[in-house]
Amino acid sequence: MVSRNTKLAKEDTLKMTRRRLSMRKIREILRLRHEMQLGLRAIARSCQVSHNTVKEVLRRTEEAGLDWAQARELDEVTLEAKLYPATVGKFHPRPLPDWCWVHRELRRPGVTLRLLWREYKQMHPDGLQYSQFCERYRRWRETLDVVLRQTYQPGEKMFVDYAGQTVPVRDPKTGEIREAHIFVTVLGASNYTYLEAHSAQDLVHWIGGHVRAFEYYRGVPAVVVPDNPKTGVKRACWYEPELNPTYQELAVHYGFAVIPARPRKPRDKAKVEAGVLVVERWVLARLRNRTFLSLSQLNDALAALREELNERPFQKLDGCRRSLFEQLERPALRPLPSVRYEWAEWRKARVNIDYHVEVDKNFYSVPYTLVRQEVEVRLTALAVEVFHKGQRVASHPRLAGQGRVSTNPEHRPAAHRRYLEWSPSRLIKWAETVGPHTARLVQGLLESKPHPEQGYRACLGLLRLAKQYGSERMEAAAHRALAHRAFSYRSVKSMLETGLDRMPLPSEADQAVPPHENVRGSSYYGSEGGRAC
């Protein structure tokens, strides 16, 4: 966990140094501000940056004369150039004291801020002056934790978590028992609850649970508060913690903001903590003696008890969860989009030297100018899309199986397009100009491949070897390769490099097995006196 001392240091140097935010996060800040109308601190919690960072991004956008409509249409390079023009000079922040230590020392008798400042200046002569020292300490002290009684506006927040308790599901064929995980969502103002069982806590089920919860509520809240699951929120990073790209894409599609609960801060998600407790006591406890043979059977039972839970009267208030939802929460929810979210997984990949990226052991082309650069790959059930700095640069139908290649001819450089103009007959005709052995070698090499195109590169390599070593040596190496049935570019290259092509080929008589008294012929095993081994 980052100390408050470090947070204050970042805030002080924010205006002098550029924060290394990704353009994806900057776009998310602008979207939450202009489309969702969120405040600075809410945006900061959603994007997991300081509120001063949010303020700085908005200030830079205003100074650049950009509104959200313009910024949304700019590519990442142009937007970065407008928001972060080149600056001259470097800023070295002054060393700051450990404010926790200062706070503890002040509790000791006779210790004052001036005394602690003098000790600090002895260690850091270039440190803060006394007035700034006192001001920084006062600001740090104001950030100490306080208890806030939270109230929720209708349609504002939906809390999401998995219950700690699981439900066993028995396979009717094998008898194997697997634990089902219970996905729970609770609306803040009405406590209206949705739950379903998942076979695993992975990204597919996490996203699907959100989609079905929105459809159950028939609307979308303004903010979703998850409990920092690895599927929804990436592992904390010192430099730039951020949401899972698929989860962020879901938020953009449905138009809500994600504000994860702070680690080890249960008050941030007290609503869902209480909701999970109610689910465990009023739903799961009632199912403890039942045996479920499938996940769908369990979900049917959960659906019936879920409706009973939402219709159960409040103890101290009039009505129930459902009536409160219909009166307050339902009208305040945002409408569902016209198209349901299509599941997509995001990955990072590096473009290979052959301008293809590998996805699930299949290969998809991108423009050759992106060789060796890192790109983002968006995978759906039917398509593979490749993005570079926020712009889509390639799209392919998703290939089944492994080892398959999808290549867009427009992605190739001109030299490679000329290379593809070669054909097996043209390659063999060229090889005949070198000699008959080379022609037979090229033909055998092409026939040894499942597709002749896979041997084009090797044949062009033989062409280069013939130019390098001459036709005579190439013919000798091809003759030796044919004798050994070595239909490969590497074998011929090795022969030429080692001079093996200059050695005479052994005759058939030399390769025959020499006579020996212990060597039996085939007639031995067919004779009457022969014995089986």
Q: What is the pLDDT of residues 67-93, one digit of tens each?
A: 888 888 888 778 878 887 754 444 456
The pLDDT confidence band at residue 299, using thresholds 50, 70 and 90, is: very high
User: Mind giving me the DSSP string for 207-239?
Assistant: HHHHHHHHHHHTSB-SEEE----TTTBPPP-SS
Question: Which residue, 497, 455, 496, is CA-closest to 472?
Answer: 496
Kindly tell me if the per-residue pLDDT of 149 is higher than 60: no
Cα 158–159–163 angle (5° rounding)? 140
Strands 374-379 and 383-388: antiparallel
Q: What is the pLDDT of residue 369?
A: 87
Give dist(CA 30, CA 20) in Å, integer.
16
The pLDDT confidence band at residue 174, using thresholds 50, 70 and 90, is: confident
Q: What is the pLDDT of residue 14?
A: 44
Residues 410-419: contacts with CB under 8 Å, at least 24 apart: 410/367, 411/355, 411/365, 411/366, 411/367, 411/368, 412/355, 412/365, 412/368, 413/368, 416/368, 419/456, 419/460
Give the tens place of pLDDT for each residue, 189-210.
Answer: 888 999 999 998 888 889 999 9
**Are 187 and 158 a contacting pair, CB within 8 Å?**
yes
For residues 368 and 510, the model is more confident at 368
Q: What is the pLDDT of residue 125?
A: 86
Domains of the chain (ranges plus CATH)? 18-83 (1.10.10), 157-332 (3.30.420.10), 345-417 (no CATH), 422-510 (no CATH)
Kindly tell me if the per-residue pLDDT of 247 is higher than 90: no
Give the tens place of pLDDT for each residue, 445-499.
Answer: 888 776 555 677 788 788 888 888 998 998 998 898 888 888 888 889 998 898 8
Q: What is the pLDDT of residue 144?
A: 57
The pLDDT confidence band at residue 520, using thresholds 50, 70 and 90, is: very low
**Are 18 and 87 a contacting pair, CB within 8 Å?**
yes
Kindly tell me if the per-residue pLDDT of 57 is higher than 80: yes
Q: What is the pLDDT of residue 334?
A: 92
Cα 466–470–476 angle (5° rounding)? 85
Q: What is the pLDDT of residue 501?
A: 84
Give dist(CA 452, CA 297) in Å, integer.
53
Kindly tell me if the per-residue pLDDT of 105 is higher than 70: yes
For residues 2 and 368, the model is more confident at 368
The encoded tokens of residue 498 equal: 């080692």
Measured CA distances, 283 to 166, 195, 286, 301, 449 (Å): 12, 10, 5, 9, 62
Kindly tell me if the per-residue pLDDT of 168 is higher than 90: yes
The pLDDT confidence band at residue 164, using thresholds 50, 70 and 90, is: confident
Mean predicted confidence (pLDDT) in 168-196: 90
Q: What percent of the chain clears pLDDT 70, i.e. is strictly above it?
A: 78
The encoded tokens of residue 66 equal: 């950009």
Mean predicted confidence (pLDDT) in 110-139: 88
Q: What is the pLDDT of residue 386?
A: 93
Give dist(CA 244, CA 507) in Å, integer.
67
